[in-house]
Structure 1
Amino acid sequence: MPLHDAFPWVRHLSEAETREFALELRGALSGDVEPEARRAAQSAIVSWRATARIHADPVQESDAARPLADGFGRVEVCG
């Protein structure tokens, strides 16, 4: 089954992003059927689907590409 059939939202990803998603998913699924492997596969799907949603919406994509005005703010050193 082609990746696009299983995950229709990958059409919003670039070729490089689609390849990266496929490799990440394959790595997660090639592990054991342990809960950690299942969580890794779910995490890959959820995070790449979110990326595809941003690419699908021109306003969100523009906002995501814009540099932050204030950086990440002040950093405090603890410890």
Structure 2
Amino acid sequence: MSAENAAVNFSELVNKNKQTLARLKESPRLLLHRRDGEDLVLTTAARAEQDRTVVSAATRMLSALARREPGSVQLLLDILPDAFPWVRFLPERDVHAFAVELVGTMRAADSVGNSAAVAQLLAAWQHTAEVHSDPELLSALTRDHDADYGPATDPRELG
């Protein structure tokens, strides 16, 4: 059973906890659907530690690769479109900035054991690529706006 298929309602964990937890033997993760909140993922501590070890190892390898000879940076730049197809929409200087920022953020996030900053960085750069993929949107966001509409109204005054 794949992790994608191992899913139950949260109430099943509450009402049939032994049977539900037994499903972790079949799948590394169990998706718990909640009615009144964000879905949860349940896994064993050993599997969570394995995942962390793998991500940390990959981060250290990528970081070491990027710090080597200048040719290594070019290799990283060459493989980015395979990993993140949307980088094709970024200007060349932004692809380089993304690569440098990604490696640095991954190293920092690994050092504190929290990947939230990496996820945020990827989302932000992907949104930037989306803007570059749409010429009209890019033009609207990058053109000089000569019109001055004066000071903004304080939102508290609108209520």
TM-score bracket relative to the smaller structure:
0.7 to 0.9
Unpaired runs of 5+ residues, structure 2, are 1-75, 155-159
Q: Within the alignment, does 1:18 sit opposite 2:18 as a pair?
A: no
Q: Runs of at least 4 residues of structure 1 off by over 2 A? A: 67-74
Give the structure 1 partner of residue 50 of structure 2.
none
For CA contacts below 8 A with separation 6 or more, give which structure has more relative contact order. 1
Give the structure 1 partner of residue 139 of structure 2.
62
* C-alpha displacement of 1:72: 8.6
The amino acid of 1:70's aligned partner reads D
Q: Within the alignment, does 1:34 sit opposite 2:92 as a pair?
A: no
Q: Within the alignment, does 1:50 sit opposite 2:142 as a pair?
A: no
Q: Per the alignment, do residues 28 and 62 of structure 1 end up closer, same or farther by CA in structure 2, a change over 3 Å counting?
A: same
The amino acid of 2:99's aligned partner reads A
SS at match of 1:22: helix
Report the structure, 1 or 2, having the larger strand content. Answer: 2
Unpaired runs of 5+ residues, structure 1, are none
Q: Per the alignment, do residues 71 and 4 of structure 1 end up closer, same or farther by CA in structure 2, a change over 3 Å counting?
A: farther
Identical positions, percent: 37
Q: Within the alignment, does 1:6 sit opposite 2:83 as a pair?
A: yes
SS at match of 1:30: helix
* C-alpha displacement of 1:18: 0.3
Structure label with greater radius of gyration:
2
- When the two chains are superposed, the root-mean-square deviation of aligned CA atoms in Å is 2.2
